[in-house]
Structure formats: C-alpha cells, structure tokens
Structure 1
C-alpha cells in the first residue's frame, strides 16, 4: 500500500474513544478511495491491523471475484477492504453496482479520503512522486483533474474523512472509531521468559532482569523443577525485592500500554530473563502475566528457553 505519501506529524489525538463491540458494523466490504496523498494507504493499513483482508489498487471489476474467493477460503465473517484510486477506469459503474445492486452479497461502505490541495501538494512533494494524472503538467494540475473525476463518488460516499489537519495517528484512530471492535483494538501483550546465556529476544520492547533474585538452582529440592512449579514460584516471589519489583513494574507497563494504544500500536512484547530461563524468569513471567490480565490486558505467555538446559 505505497500509493499515498506519508502524513505529517501533528498534535495529540483528541478523537472520541473507540466504539464498543455492540456498535461495531457487521463484517462487510469497505471500499477505500479518495484523493492521492489523502491517506488511503494509512487507512488500509489500519483496517489490516483490525483484521480486514486488504487488497490494494484492485480493479473494481475484480472485486466480486475477490469477495467470492475470500468467502470460500475464510468465510463470510472475514471483513474485506479494497483500495481503489482514480486510475480505475470503470470505477463508478462498479461502485454503483456494489452499493445498489449488491453484486457481492455483502454490506458495502465507501470511505472517501480528502484534504486541501496545498496539503496534498506538500505530501506528494515530500514523497517525491508525480501525480498519476498530471502528465506533463504540474502536480496541482493532476489534483484538479482528479477532483473532477472523483466528484460523483465523493457525493455518494458513506464516510468522508478530511485529513488536512490529521496526522497518521489521528487518521488511524478515526478509522478505528468506525470499523474497530473492542477485541480488534485491544493491545495484545506477550510476556516471554528467557535465559540471558541464550541471548535477549530480539523483538522485546521491554527487558526485565531477574538475576537480582536468589537462584533456586542452588536449592537441592528446587533445582530439578521449573518456575511453573508452585514451590519454585513461591520461593522466587517470596525473596526480598520480588514484590517490590512487581509493585513498581506493573504500573509502568500499564502506563506504557495506554500510550501504545494512543499511538496506534497493537502489540507489546515484554521479556523477563534470568541466567538459564528455567526458574526465576519463568516464575516472574507467570506472575507479570497474571497481574496484567487482572488489569484487563490481553496477554499470552511464552517460555522460550524452558527445557533447553
């Protein structure tokens, strides 16, 4: 989805909160169109993150075939989004069919993205790309021609978003408001236990070192067990500093989680390490995950190096 220029940074997001699951539209077909540089690719990427099957620059005549293939392979509950731009010849007739003759059998929403000409010019110049309709003329000539071609479509669009004053995060949140469900917009957190001697997970956003706690490896009755064993877990969590660490670390993670959501991030990975990834890191990973779930977070646990010794 590289047909749009990157939107510029701006101030903090002030849009309303994401819709509840009960208000989320049924799975259907979303057609994304509008002016070049207005953010079509950004909107499409957000829909992809929300679980949509996204196809960029699809000729409208092929939309029914794509819907049919998705219905067969993924089922009718798989939402679909297609990006269509001004270069699509039979665009209006095809869109009219989808809206009024229901050729795909799915409820269809047309999203039209727009912005002021001076903003579109700046975005296209920053991307150093010509407009598809400018020919030998100026970039502004291409934009003016595009507005003429898309005028009818803008009039029948279900949702028009003016991105003139929006940055990437504000646009993605606007898309989430209309198409996101409570489940698809939750931050998905992975907590990984690991052993430092095997290396730090390369995808970790945050790394916590549990080597400040006494090692159960040196306790004969605990050595052969792992941090998933209740006796080992109780031993680790009862050590000086363990509870203090959890009491300080969890509010930080909760704060960061909220910030990630505001910035449009969907995934966070927390790595918890000890020497071999068997005792302390495993026990503390389970406890961190447990406390995050108690805060309402969507959490999964991976014990990367368990059994590797």
Structure 2
C-alpha cells in the first residue's frame, strides 16, 4: 500500500551534504514545520519506506517527507544512489527533490573544534583530512542536487530561518515573526527587519552577582526592569510594533525579524526579547524567540560604556540605581 493517498504527488526532500554543514539542524527545522523527518536513512530502502502508510493513515493528509543521509549512511555509494533516486523520480506519484548543504572546510574544522567532536572520516587524523575525504565522496551529489545552501556564514538560527522561508507549506494571513536577542559586539543579525538598541538601559554585566547570569534569570530581569526609563520605552516599542505588524500583514510580507540588541547579547536583550515574545503571543501572533549570543563568553572589554565612563564608575552607578 503506498503512502500517497491525495491527488497531489508525495513531496520528498532528500537532505544531504558534507558532515558538519547543518543537516541535523535542517531536519529538526523541517520537523517543526510539520514534515516527517528521518535522519541517517539508507536511501536504498526508500522504495520500501514509501509503501508504509503515512502517520495520518491512508485517509490523512499528504505529509511531506524529509530523508537525511550522508557519506556515513549504510550502503553509501554516490553514483548508485543517484541512479536509484532517478528511478524513484520517474514515478508520477512522487515529487523528489534534493537539498545539498555545503560549507567551507575551515568553518567545518572550527565547528568540530568547538564541539570537541572528531570528524567521522578522520578519527585518528587531523579534521581537515576527513573533510577532504568527505567532500570527495559527496561531490557527485553536490553537482546533481537541485538546491544547494552554503552554510559557511550562517549560524544555526540563520539556517533555520532560510529553511522556514523555503519550505514552509502552510499559508497564513499573518507574517511569521522571529524575535532575536543579540550582542552588538558580535554584529547585527544579517536578516533583521526591525532593530531596537537597548544599550540605554543599565547594564547587569557590571554587577558581579548578575554577570554570570542571563536575561532568562529573574534577578537579571528585575534589575533591567528597575531602570527608570524601562517602562516608558517598552510601551512605546510595543505600540510601534502593534502599529507596524498589521501593515506588514497587509502587504503580504511573509517574514518579519525583530531584533533586540545590547552590548554582549546575554542580559538586557535576552530579557526584552522574552518579554516581547510573550506580549506578541498575547496579541495573537505566532512567533519564535531566539537568543543568538546567550552562551557567548562575557568579556569586560566588550562591555565598556559607550560614553567613555570608566569601568569602576559604571559598576558603582549600576549598583546605586
């Protein structure tokens, strides 16, 4: 029995690429979008998988399917797999596309170093050796894939946003909203539509008890909210968003990215992003809240006040206010 029951062809996305380029992130994002996602799937078993009814049953919706595989997948042979996929594509009830994730070797090496994982193709050798082997094995798929995304300069959040924009199937009368916190010391998010600078609020970084905490902690939130300018500023921003977001809807803008920034991206911006996430949900908007620099290391030099005040005075001022 075939899993395809509607009049439309079964949509299948084959997600592959070099190891470390973001395949797991893509599959998790697709799953959040309502796709059925299977990672490390032996593609030579795809024919048998498609005979299994979808999770909604034979009369359920035609749920799109994402299958992840790479050079580590059992039975991997690039040329043989491409031939098998071409054979499946000849079936009229299947709409099969391939997404290839590429990434620069130096960036993959950095990612493996950060996570302290060994490259699967170089368990006892430098990571760059494994990267070169993996790229050679995956090269036929890179040439053949209909869609290629280079993730070299994309954070995990940026990649998630790209996938949402390309593969969201549901049509909504409202824009899809992303609320992001970030640190100016590490750059403004490249895809931000509206940016609010929160560096006018007093900085919890200079309180030794609050410095190791984040804007997700109640004590930091209370500290930020106690700033004399906080309430009025938050209400004005909320009024502005209440005015602008319906206008974006009316213009058919599919995605609106709202970014709140402070110096390091760990305290003020995190608290405010969470607050606006809750407010916008109360106003009926569906959204995602993301904290780009939440786990970044706090660095005193990056937190120096923009007005040139010295560090000691800033710390004293923040304790006295």
- Could you say which TM-score interval applies, normalised by the shorter chain? 0.5 to 0.7
Classify 1:101/1:59 alpha carbon distance in 2 versus 1 (closer, same or farther; 3 Å): closer
The structure with more radius of gyration = 1
1:166 lines up with 2:161 in the alignment: no
Question: Which residue number corresponds to residue 87 of structure 1?
Answer: 72
Correspondence 1:107 to 2:95: yes
Distance in 2 between residues matched to 1:172 and 1:263, nearest whole Å = 15
Q: Which residue of 1 aligns with 2:185?
A: none
1:159 Cα deviation from its structure 2 partner? 0.7
Greater RCO, CA 8 A, separation 6+: 1
For the Cα contact (< 8 Å) 1:169–1:263, is it kept in 2?
Answer: no
Aligned to 2:110: 122
SS at match of 1:68: coil
Worse overlay, 53-62 or 246-255: 246-255
How large is the Cα RMSD of the aligned pairs?
A: 4.1
Q: Offset at 1:186?
A: 5.2
Distance 1:33 1:262 in 2: 28
Runs (5+) with no aligned partner, structure 1 = 1-24, 189-245, 273-284, 290-296, 300-309
Query: Which residue of structure 1 lines up, in the alignment, with residue 84 of structure 2?
Result: 97
Shift of 1:167: 1.8
8 Å CA contact 2:9–2:94 kept in 1: the answer is: no
- Quote the offset at 1:102 in angstroms: 3.0
* 2: CA distance, partners of 1:254 / 1:167: 30
Give the 5 Å matches for 1:1-309: 28-71=11-54, 73-74=56-57, 75=60, 77-88=62-73, 89-92=75-78, 93-102=80-89, 105-181=93-169, 183=171, 187=176, 251-252=240-241, 262=257, 288-289=283-284, 297=285
Does the C-alpha gap of structure 1 residues 98 and 298 become closer, same or farther in structure 2, counting only changes over 3 Å? Answer: same
CA distance in 2, matches of 1:140, 1:26: 41
Q: Distance in 2 between matches of 1:120 and 1:254?
A: 42
How far does residue 36 in structure 1 lie from its aligned partner after superposition? 1.0
8 Å Cα contact 1:64-1:103 kept in structure 2: no
Q: Check whether the contact 2:14–2:66 (CA below 8 A) recurs between aligned residues.
A: yes
Could you give the per-residue CA deviations for residues 4-34 of structure 1, whole angstroms, max 9, x where no partner exists? xxxxxxxxxxxxxxxxxxxxx9751011111
User: Kindly tell me: are residues 151 and 118 of structure 1, through their superposed partners in 2, closer, same or farther at Cα, counting changes over 3 Å?
Assistant: same
Cα displacement (A) at 1:253: 6.0
State the Cα distance separating 1:99 from its structure 2 match. 2.9
Question: Aligned partners of 1:116 and 1:250: how far apart in 2?
Answer: 43
Shift of the 263–250 alpha-carbon distance from structure 1 to 2, 3 Å rule, reads: closer
1:144–1:298 Cα change, 3 Å? closer
Give the structure-1-normalised TM-score.
0.52
Shift of 1:120: 0.5
Secondary structure of 2:52's aligned partner: helix
